[in-house]
Structure formats: structure tokens, C-alpha cells
Amino acid sequence: MKKAEIEQRLSSYGDFLLKRAMVASGKERYFISWVRRFLQNEDSFKGSKWEDMLPQYLEYLERDSHIASWQLDQAHQAVTLYFQNFLGAPGTVVEMPASSISDEEVVVFDAAKVLGDLKEWLRIKHYAYKTEQSYMKWCKRFLSYSRECFPTLEEGTVVISPELIKDFLAQLAIKGKLSKSSQNQAFSALLFVCRNVLRMELKDMEKSLRAKAGRKLPLVLSPLEIKNLLSRVSGTRGLILRLIYSSGIRLSECARLRVKDLDFEQNLLFVRSGKGDKDRSTLLAEQVQGDLKKHLAKVRKLHDSDLASGFGEVFMPGALGRKYPAACREWGWQYVFPSAKLSVDPRTNVTRRHHVSESSIQKAMKKAVRDADLVKPASVHTLRHSFATHLLLNGVDLRQIQDYLGHVSVETTMIYTHVVKDLRNPAISPLDLLDQMTSAGR
């Protein structure tokens, strides 16, 4: 490619970065510089596609001792944006305008109607309220981004296209430095909008736009650390943390526990409509049962007081509230850990006593970690990881642990075998054996 042609393309690429706000302000010239360097050395790389040549380019840059690792990441992002977003055809070099969206592809929508239809579809498909809030948030951010890219549109209208979605996700990853899980959550929200609200297909982009996350080992506390941690928190918050560790349930599952889900005779705890809308049973430790029964006695008095005041209703899942109109006041349906205050349901505007706030439990856990002087960044979910790992250390079958945790695939549960491998009879470092090895004349 001739130098004049390269500079012409790079000029258009710079305009694209500015118009789409893809990178932090002032960083555009560095992205242009990395792409220029790639195009100037393109003939020395093997392969016909840019995806094949990119690793060779990064190896070439790595040989320069003056280039730091963060600059290699920036070069990787610059070349990927150039081919995947700017040129718009991965693996193929084609002539494109400065905007990767042509006039024929621009479709204008009413922003308010898109948001309203999205909320309606989420409720039709019975998505969780938290998921609804998350998807609405990402959709609003995308619509705001679209307005920035097309400021001349009529007020209240936005452009939505597959290419613009691709640019938005790239902006989140590069400029916003979003984690891979958050990036995938944003993509899932926009994919839901395209499929259900706009009837727009993303085609092969559905696979290429998802961020690939590497395998991460879960953080696990030792039994001694767990004992030290749980001794630092008392009352209802302490009971909740002990219950989560002893049963391996998620924080949201613990908060939504109903009285009828506790089986003291069989030492079982039932999780209803857990992740994936699945039911399961898990362990109910004998050590928590005494405190749990005392706690339920207090909750029963609170419920009786609510009934006397004309309240006492609890949220009923699905259509059960219409099918059994009196069940919402029955003792068995009440939350095991109710909120201290009555509140208004944001969906129905009915005043009820909701379950305990998850954030209050997270705050209690954070304080306990600090008081126990633990250096590990443990969260409430760490107790669930520790439950599974400690069961494995005690010889419990992997398939049984899978059932307790509610994992669909045993491969998900097998991640704990890697943690156990490090905890059970770890190898001795050669440094610790150095004296022994030298004295033996090895």
C-alpha cells in the first residue's frame, strides 16, 4: 500500500475515532501511529488476514525494549479497531467511508418507545427485576451514545444499527475500560433489544462481539479464616452469613428464603426459582438451627403485628397471588429475613414488607473481613466458594456438590478441584529443600 493511501486512510480512521468517541480524548494520535506502523510493515507478516498478522506485529513490537506492556495492549486495540470497527469487515481490507455506517443502513427509532417496549418485553418473559434494571441501564447508555454520534437528529430519535452496537461495545472496552463480564452483560442487553424489540438480527456479530474471559480460580478462605470471620459478626447478619457458608446458597437466594423452605426435620434447605429458574435442595446445618428457630419466633411476632395493622402481605411469584389470594398473608410464605421497614413494590405500588437488603449483608461482610484482619478481598460469595471447596476437602462427591450449588454442568463445579489441589498436600518448593539437597551432594 502506498504511503499517500495509508495516510488518507489513517486520516479517515482518526475522524472515525473522534466521531465515535472510541478512545480517551487526546489518545487518537497514538492509535493512528500504531496502525501506521502495522500497515508499513504489513508485507513482512505472513498470512492474508489481519487476525493472522496481528500476533506477528505484536511480537515485532515486543522486540523493542522501549515499548512497555501497556503500549502493546494499546497497539492491539488500535489495529483491532481499525479492521473490525472502522473497515467493518474482519479479515478483509476494503474501501470504506470515515463512518462505518452508510446512509442506507441508518435506521431511526423513537428512544422513548424503545425503552418502553424493552421494559414490557422483559416483563412478558419474566426476567428478574435486577435484570430488568440492568438491561434498561445499558440500553439508556447505548441510546445516549447514539445521540452523541448523530447530534443532528430530531430530538427524541436515535440511530440503532449493528455497526453502531459494535462501536459502542468497543468504546466500553477501550475508553471505559469495562471488565469482560460487564461488557458481555451490555451485549446481552442490546442483543435482547435487537431480537425482541427491534426485530433486528446481528448475524455473525453475536459470536464475535462477546468478550472471551479467561479461567479464574475462585477465592477461598481456609476453615480457620472462616471461623475467625464468622466470630466477628453477630445478630441477624451473622446468622445470614453462617447460613450462606453452611448451605452454599447465593446471597440473593438467602434473602428470598421463605419460612416454608426450611425443613428442620430433614436438615434441608430448599431454594426456589434459583439461577436459571431452577429449584434445588441443600444442607441445613444443625449448628444454625437453634438460632434460626429463635429468629423465626421474632419474625412471627413481626408478621402478626403487620397483620393487625392491615398489612402482612408478601410478594407472590408468578400468578400465585391471583390463584391463591389469601396465601400472601400466610406464615409459610413470609420471608425468613424480612426488611425492618415496609416499602412500596416498584412494579405494583403495593405496600409490603420486602426481604432484607442484600447491600446491608455485603456491608456486614466487609466489616467482618476488616475486623478479622483478612488480606484476601473476600465477599459474601466467597462463603459459597469456601462451602464447595471444604466439602471437597472432606471427601464429598463432586456430583453431590454440583446438586447443592445448583450448577447445570459438572464442568462448572470442577473449578473447585483446582483449588483443592493447591490446599491438599501441596508440593514443597525447591528453595525449602535447598539445604537438604546440597547436604546430600546432589
Whether 3-86 and 223-422 share one fold: the answer is no
pLDDT at 126 over 60: yes
Q: Which of 57, 82, 245, 416 is an active site residue?
A: 416
Measured between alpha carbons, how far is residue 290 from residues 264, 313, 382 in Å?
Answer: 10, 27, 24
Write down the pLDDT at residue 213.
Answer: 66
Query: Is the separation of the CB atoms in 302 and 312 below 8 Å?
Result: no
Among the listed residues 60, 40, 38, 62, the one whose alpha carbon sits nearest the alpha carbon of residue 50? 38
Write down the pLDDT at residue 207.
Answer: 64
pLDDT confidence band for 206 (50 / 70 / 90)? low
Q: Which of 140, 210, 272, 381 is an active site residue?
A: 381
Instruction: Lowest mean pLDDT of 111-115, 197-201, 354-358, 371-375, name the range.
Output: 197-201
pLDDT at 90 over 60: no
Q: Which of 37, 76, 275, 329 is an active site residue?
A: 275
Among the listed residues 311, 302, 252, the one whose alpha carbon sits nearest the alpha carbon of residue 277? 252
pLDDT at 55 over 80: yes
Among the listed residues 214, 213, 109, 116, the one whose alpha carbon sits nearest the alpha carbon of residue 165? 109
pLDDT confidence band for 204 (50 / 70 / 90)? low
CB atoms within 10 A of CB 13: 23
Is residue 272 among the annotated active site residues? no
Write down the pLDDT at residue 37.
Answer: 86
Instruction: Look up residue 335 and give its DSSP letter.
Output: B
Look-up: residue for cell 463432586? 398
Among the listed residues 133, 105, 95, the one whose alpha carbon sits nearest the alpha carbon of residue 8? 95
Q: Which of 250, 256, 280, 295 is an active site residue?
A: 250
Whole-angstrom Cα distance, residue 313 to residue 326? Answer: 9
Q: Does domain 103-208 have CATH number 1.10.150.130?
A: yes
Write down the pLDDT at residue 40.
Answer: 83
Write down the pLDDT at residue 101.
Answer: 46
Query: Is the separation of the CB atoms in 415 and 401 below 8 Å?
Result: no
More confident residue, 97 or 78: 78
Whole-angstrom Cα distance, residue 385 to residue 220? Answer: 6
Write down the pLDDT at residue 429.
Answer: 80
3-state secondary structure of 321: helix
Query: Is the separation of the CB atoms in 398 and 262 below 8 Å?
Result: no
Q: What is the pLDDT of residues 313-344, one digit of tens each?
A: 898 887 787 888 888 899 999 999 999 999 88
Q: What is the pLDDT of residues 247-287, one digit of tens each?
A: 999 999 999 999 999 999 999 999 998 887 889 999 999 99
Maximum alpha-carbon separation in the chain? 85
Q: What is the pLDDT of residues 368-427, one digit of tens each?
A: 999 999 999 999 999 999 999 999 988 899 999 999 999 988 888 888 887 887 677 677
Sign of CA dihedral 342, 344, 349, 354: negative
Is residue 126 among the annotated active site residues? no
pLDDT at 351 over 70: yes
Whole-angstrom Cα distance, residue 182 to residue 170? Answer: 12
More confident residue, 341 or 206: 341
> What residues does each domain of the chain span?
3-86, 103-208, 223-422
Q: What are phi and psi of 222, to 5 degrees?
A: -75, 160
Is residue 407 among the annotated active site residues? yes
Q: Which of 36, 166, 385, 407 is an active site residue?
A: 407
End-to-end CA distance of the chain: 60
Is residue 147 among the annotated active site residues? no
Query: Is the separation of the CB atoms in 354 and 315 below 8 Å?
Result: yes
User: The domain 3-86 is classified under which CATH number: 3.10.28, 1.10.150, 1.10.287, 3.40.1760?
Assistant: 1.10.150
Q: Which residues contact 402 (CB under 8 A, 6 or more apart)?
A: 410, 412, 413
Is residue 384 among the annotated active site residues? yes
| Residue 187, H or E segment | helix 180-192
The predicted model gives 229-234 an average pLDDT of 94
Query: Is the separation of the CB atoms in 114 and 198 below 8 Å?
Result: yes
Q: Which of 166, 237, 384, 385 is an active site residue?
A: 384
Q: What are phi and psi of 33, to 5 degrees?
A: -65, -40
pLDDT at 91 over 50: no
pLDDT confidence band for 228 (50 / 70 / 90)? very high
User: The domain 223-422 is classified under which CATH number: 1.10.390.10, 1.10.443.10, 2.40.128.20, 3.30.470.20?
Assistant: 1.10.443.10
